[in-house]
């Protein structure tokens, strides 16, 4: 039995994720000057209390270095402000600027439209199964990774 991409869960999932991200970026980039991942970063910062770069990385499934570059880019665009944490001098906190809040509101509307348009093509039951399967894959992929590393 050989490993084929068309039957690979990882490949197919990544392909769908890449296409969704690219498509959403094409919708928001011209209007708001941000990509899909930057939108997600802004959204997390807006919704989470005292979020750290590590937590953002975990929520996005990215490494801290990649998230750090994204945060730097958003700071340069004037969408985030960095402040030293009063509690921990080693840590920095980031906050949305008023401009970022406007961009987030506009991009969020497009995100809702995009998501609703996709959901029109999928029944509620199919969507429920899809999310259940994704959750199982996410949980089990971590277990399988550990087992393979341990030689099981």
- Which pLDDT tens digit goes with each residue over 43-55? 999 998 878 888 8
Q: What is the DSSP string of 82-148?
A: EEE-SS-TT-EEEEE-HHHHHHHHHHHHHHHHHHHHHHTTS-HHHHHHHHHHHHHHHHHHHHHHHHH
Domain locations in the chain?
8-121
- Which pLDDT tens digit goes with each residue over 133-144? 999 998 888 888
CATH number given to 8-121: 1.10.10.10
Q: Which residue has the tokens 């980031």?
A: 94
- Which pLDDT tens digit goes with each residue over 11-23? 999 999 999 999 9
């Amino acid at each position: 039995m050989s490993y084929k991409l068309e039957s690979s869960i990882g490949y197919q999932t990544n392909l769908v994720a890449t296409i969704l991200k690219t498509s959403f970026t094409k919708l928001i980039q011209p209007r708001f000057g941000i990509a899909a991942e930057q939108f997600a970063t802004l959204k997390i910062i807006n919704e989470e209390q005292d979020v750290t770069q590590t937590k953002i990385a975990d929520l996005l499934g990215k490494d801290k270095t990649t998230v750090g570059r994204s945060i730097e880019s958003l700071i340069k665009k004037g969408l985030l402000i960095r402040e030293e944490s009063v509690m921990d001098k080693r840590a920095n906190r980031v906050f949305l600027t008023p401009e970022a809040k406007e961009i987030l509101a506009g991009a969020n509307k497009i995100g809702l439209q995009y998501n609703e348009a996709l959901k029109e093509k999928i029944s509620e039951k199919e969507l429920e199964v899809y999310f259940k399967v994704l959750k199982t894959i996410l949980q089990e992929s971590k277990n399988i990774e550990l087992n393979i590393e341990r030689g099981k």
